[in-house]
A = this chain, B = another copy of it.
Amino acid sequence: MKKLAIGIDIGGINTAFGLVDDEGTVYAEYVVSTKKYPRFDDYQPYVEELCGAIKTMLGTVSFDFELTGIGIGAPNANYHTGTIEHPANLWKFTEANAGCDESLRVFHLAADIGRRFPGVEVLMTNDANAATIGEMVYGNARGMKDFVMVTLGTGLGSGFVANGEMIYGHDGFAGEFGHVVVRPGGRKCGCGRRGCLEAYVSATGIKRTAFELMAEMTEPSELRGIAYDDFDSAMVSAAADKGDPVALEAFRVTGEMLGKALADMVVITSPEAVFLFGGLAKAGDKIFEPTKRYMEQNMLSVFKNKVRILPSGIEGKNAAILGAAALIWQHRRA
């Protein structure tokens, strides 16, 4: 009988999920709103709707199959405990809970879903780790034992694989490469500290860099006509394609920051390859070329010309669902 896994990708706006086999074919795909359930008290109704929708989806499949497991990628997810801990943008306290202890905002999602699907294994990790496992199971990291995935979205996420296994770390939260401090005392980061890599290397980071460069440089630029609040990182990419000097410099600076940070990371885990995934990675050579160049320039000699910087092989709209489902296939192999 065909074996299928469910992959669930929980974002701040939507929760997308699908039924996937071990080769990456998606047999059904659904979406429920996450945004509809913003408050702390909305968590249980959210779980109800999600599990109801999963059961509806399972009912639409016209052939016999075995459900091998449910994999979930979610922000602040802890692999060891199956919990989502203190998420910044999910199930927040409002006036009604004012004064409640933040320690209550630990959501046992894996167990809560598992209870509604008896006998089905439920595994959860953060979205970047899920993408990493997706790359290992379905993408360009197939067969690799030691690699790193860098996801360049609004922030910078990452996943580290060593000896063929995800590094979850002792507490289940390993792989926060975006929060390596690359410029002490530098830009304010969403984490409350200053100078983190993701404040420079991410969609938001390159936007901030473009604004810094507009102040620093005197060359004309089409970016100078756009207000900060109307600006997004795709505009930097479009301008760079037309030779815009500020946009080109923004990519060079971003690649320099990432390349140097990768050179420092390589000495720790010595990966075979680093995969770049997400919006900023779609800029192609504009980001890959300076990243490679500055990584090699700053590399400890023993690692020079050994580490490849490669595009993700699962880039596309199903990547997050595939990644979450891959948690199940990877776990069954191990």
- Mark A residues whose CB is within 8 Å of B: 76, 85, 144-147, 160, 162-163, 165, 167-177, 179-181, 184, 191-193, 260, 263-265, 267-272, 298, 300-303, 306
Contact = CB atoms under 8 A, between A and B. Distances in A.
A180 B268 contact: yes
23 contacts: A144-B170, A145-B170, A146-B167, A160-B268, A160-B269, A162-B167, A163-B163, A165-B165, A167-B268, A167-B269, A170-B270, A171-B270, A171-B306, A172-B270, A173-B270, A174-B269, A175-B267, A175-B270, A180-B268, A181-B260, A193-B300, A265-B268, A268-B269
B260 A176 contact: no
A162 B169 contact: yes
B173 A146 contact: no
A220 B19 CA distance: 73
A192 B271 contact: no
B298 A169 contact: no
Q: How many copies does the complex hold?
A: 2
Contacts of A169: 146, 162, 269-271
Contact of A301 (B172, B180, B191, B271): B191
B176 A167 contact: no
B181 A263 contact: yes
A173 B175 CA distance: 20
